Amino acid sequence: MDIQTLTFIIVGASFLLYAGIAVWSRAGSTNEFYVAGGGVHPVANGMATAADWMSAASFISMAGLISFMGYDGGVYLMGWTGGYVLLALCMAPYLRKFGKFTVPDFIGDRYYSQLARTVAVACAIFVCFTYVAGQMRGVGVVFSRFLEVEIATGVMIGMAVVFFYTVLGGMKGITYTQVAQYCVLMFAYLVPAIFISLMITGNVFPQLGFGDTIAGTDTYMLDKLDGLSKELGFNAYTEGTKSTVDVFFITAALMVGTAGLPHVIIRFFTVPKVRDARRSAGWTLLFIAIVYTTAPAVASFARVNMIDTINGEEMQGTQYSEAPSWIKNWEQTGLIQWEDKNNDGRMFYSGDERNEMEIDRDIMVLANPEIADLPNWVIALVAAGGVAAALSTTAGLLLVISTSVSHDLLKRNLMPNISDKKELFFARLAAGVAIVIAGYFGVYPPGFVAQVVAFAFGLAASSFFPTILMGIFSKTMNREGAVAGMIAGITFTAAYIIYFKFVNPAANTPENWWFGISPEGIGTLGMALNFAVALTVKRFTKPVPEDVQEMVESIRFPKGSGNATH
């Protein structure tokens, strides 16, 4: 059976599964729509959180980044993984103890201010829309290749699917849909990795295989990759080129950004108890590790196979007329382009003036089974996994946007007397509008998937993380300091990113960056600015009321748990 037919069958079956779960678990109240009724089992919540967190950037783009950047791409792996540990230890149980629906809800009540709540809503929407742009782009990339449609059409299909189960099921529907999506994406990630590890090294464990010797030789796989990289004009695969300062700032931005992402934080409001929040965080780490420890292997195997199939075994270039089918297939999407610079009819891929190939790094995981000539059903399975990863995170982000509008902006601010039924209507309406806007960003994205997502982490790091952390661990941080810190942090970070990525991209070089910090890492500096501004403003404004200080004291000792409330 051909790839397209198999893709229709496997992806279509997964869509039917998601739709069935959404109908079965549809939300009937705002409590179920926002936090799934607060009764999700820790293991199920662990799977759902892993799927929510492992977005298209993790599934599609992270291995592609490592494959193209080598050692330098490891900052994404370290930052995202370390960030989840930070979230699980320092924030999740305390926020569950507080017992509210959303991050703006926590900020508004903790800082006893509607202005703080409104600023938090604005930050949440900004962060989530930046993040969701990368997810919808991932959906478009998958469909453009495997369903042979335009990227815009692929985005529309993804919009329709996620609209159905987000608007109908809310957090309750999303949670159980994400459990299924995690199973799909994990299976889709591991199966081709195990296949290719066996083919190249004979080792059934890809996590060990990419550090093993190539089957039948004494040459280590990474040594071969280093040699190929140097021969073709690239930097050695296992050696970094980024400055230590930039590596530190990018890793820190991804870490604290993870701990400040509202769509991940809200997942810990869905379990019954504080103890369950801790347990679900542990399960999530395990489920994430299964995929994340495989990513470097996928990246390395894909890189070696790609170079071999394009340049040939003797590195002289493969005749375009004899090019493997995966190149012709991906050329149709525009994500691979060949220019015959020396008119010899041969393709050649290198890191210098000899290069004739333009390859989008977002295709590496999706193309990996085709490059390795794996069975068609494996290729279709990877397509289903890519869609599952993108849709799972998209749903979580859209829910944050809808709850920020309906609950935090309307119910808790502008329209405090609206009924539960009316609030649920506005939540679904906001989700629908958000999906349309997300689709636009998916068709016209501001960068490749992981890059866009990295910007969202920087924005979350500079806005939410300091405010939440001080809200939990500092009884003296007042509303004026929190508001000023959030505004200063996110404004500075957004301005830096927009300038170097959109206003003057030609200046986006290490020589022009402040202190050698790239736009991907500037969120760390924005976070420091947030802390500095908040602490300074606090010294010159009114102290925190006694009742709020007592509330903070109770949060810091999470022995019980509050029910999620308005």
Considering only CA atoms, which of 32, 197, 105 is closest in space to residue 407? 105
- Residues linked to residue 318 through DSSP beta bridges, in sequence order: 347
Tell me, rounded to whole angstroms, the distance of Cα 174 from its chain centroid: 16
Bigger pLDDT: 473 or 393?
A: 473
Contacts of 550 (CB under 8 A, 6+ apart): none
What residue ranges in 388-523 does DSSP mark as E strands? none
Q: What is the tens place of the pLDDT at every residue in 181-220?
A: 888 888 889 999 999 999 999 999 999 988 899 988 889 9
> Rounded mean pLDDT of the chain?
82
- Residues linked to residue 319 through DSSP beta bridges, in sequence order: 346
Alpha-carbon gap, residue 248 to 114, rounded angstroms? 36
Q: What is the tens place of the pLDDT at every residue in 75-89?
A: 888 887 787 778 777
pLDDT at position 554 is 81
| Cα angle, residue 184 at apex, residues 47 and 254 outer, rounded to 5° | 55
Number of other residues whose CB lies within 10 A of the CB of residue 444:
11
pLDDT at position 170 is 62
137 — pLDDT class (breaks 50, 70, 90): confident
Give percent of the chain above pLDDT 90: 19
Contacts of 195 (CB under 8 A, 6+ apart): 369, 372, 374, 378
The length of the chain in residues reads: 566
In this prediction, residues 33-61 reach a mean pLDDT of 74
Per-domain boundaries in the chain: 3-301+374-451, 303-370
pLDDT of 448 above 60: no
pLDDT of 565 above 80: no
Lowest mean pLDDT among 42-46, 420-424, 436-440, 451-455: 451-455
Considering only CA atoms, which of 564, 466, 527 is closest in space to residue 95? 564
Helical ranges in 269-363 per DSSP H: 274-292, 295-311, 325-331
Copy the structure tokens of residue 352.
Answer: 């210098």
pLDDT of 289 above 90: no
pLDDT at position 194 is 94
pLDDT at position 169 is 57
Contacts of 228 (CB under 8 A, 6+ apart): 304, 307, 315
In this prediction, residues 418-422 reach a mean pLDDT of 79
Residue listed under structure tokens 């990759």: 225
pLDDT at position 49 is 83
Lowest mean pLDDT among 106-110, 322-326, 429-433, 442-446: 442-446
C-beta separation of 505 from 439 below 8 A? no
Contacts of 355 (CB under 8 A, 6+ apart): 233, 348, 349
pLDDT of 454 above 80: no
Lowest mean pLDDT among 210-219, 363-372, 415-424: 415-424
- Alpha carbon separation from 50 to 43, 84, 90, 183, 188 (Å, rounded): 11, 10, 18, 10, 15
Q: What is the tens place of the pLDDT at every residue in 220-257?
A: 999 999 998 999 999 899 988 888 899 899 899 888 88
Phi and psi for 340 in degrees, rounded to 5?
Answer: -80, 85
Alpha-carbon gap, residue 22 to 20, rounded angstroms? 5
In this prediction, residues 314-319 reach a mean pLDDT of 86
Alpha-carbon gap, residue 301 to 298, rounded angstroms? 5
Alpha-carbon gap, residue 400 to 483, rounded angstroms? 20
166 — pLDDT class (breaks 50, 70, 90): low
Alpha-carbon gap, residue 267 to 546, rounded angstroms? 30
Number of other residues whose CB lies within 10 A of the CB of residue 475:
18
Alpha-carbon gap, residue 127 to 455, rounded angstroms? 9
C-beta separation of 42 from 280 below 8 A? yes
Lowest mean pLDDT among 105-119, 439-453, 488-502, 509-523: 439-453
**Mutual orientation of helices 295-311 and 151-200 as an angle, nearest 10°?**
90
Alpha-carbon gap, residue 229 to 224, rounded angstroms? 9
pLDDT at position 25 is 62
C-beta separation of 166 from 431 below 8 A? yes
In this prediction, residues 130-154 reach a mean pLDDT of 73
pLDDT at position 44 is 85
DSSP string, 256-276: HHHHT-HHHHGGGGSSSSHHH
Number of other residues whose CB lies within 10 A of the CB of residue 344:
13
- Residues linked to residue 338 through DSSP beta bridges, in sequence order: 357
26 — pLDDT class (breaks 50, 70, 90): low
Bigger pLDDT: 50 or 135?
A: 50
Bigger pLDDT: 167 or 69?
A: 69
Buried b / exposed e along 40-69 (16+ C-beta atoms within 10 A): bbbbbbbbbbbbbbbbbbbbbbbbbbbbbb
pLDDT at position 438 is 78
pLDDT at position 533 is 96
pLDDT at position 165 is 63
pLDDT at position 331 is 85
pLDDT at position 263 is 72
Amino acid type, 534: A
Buried b / exposed e along 511-540 (16+ C-beta atoms within 10 A): eebeeebbbbbbbbbbbbbbbebbbebbee
pLDDT at position 71 is 87
pLDDT of 357 above 70: yes
Contacts of 144 (CB under 8 A, 6+ apart): 150, 151, 153, 154, 333, 335
Alpha-carbon gap, residue 210 to 116, rounded angstroms? 49
pLDDT at position 226 is 92
Lowest mean pLDDT among 33-42, 45-54, 490-499: 33-42
Helix (H) or strand (E) holding 358: strand 357-359
For residue 318, the SS3 value is strand
Bigger pLDDT: 349 or 174?
A: 349
Q: What is the tens place of the pLDDT at every residue in 496-551?
A: 988 887 788 888 888 899 988 988 899 999 999 999 999 999 999 999 999 888 88
Regarding pTM above 0.95, the answer is: no
Helix, strand, coil tally for the chain in percent (to 5): 75, 0, 25
Considering only CA atoms, which of 396, 358, 455 is closest in space to residue 174? 396
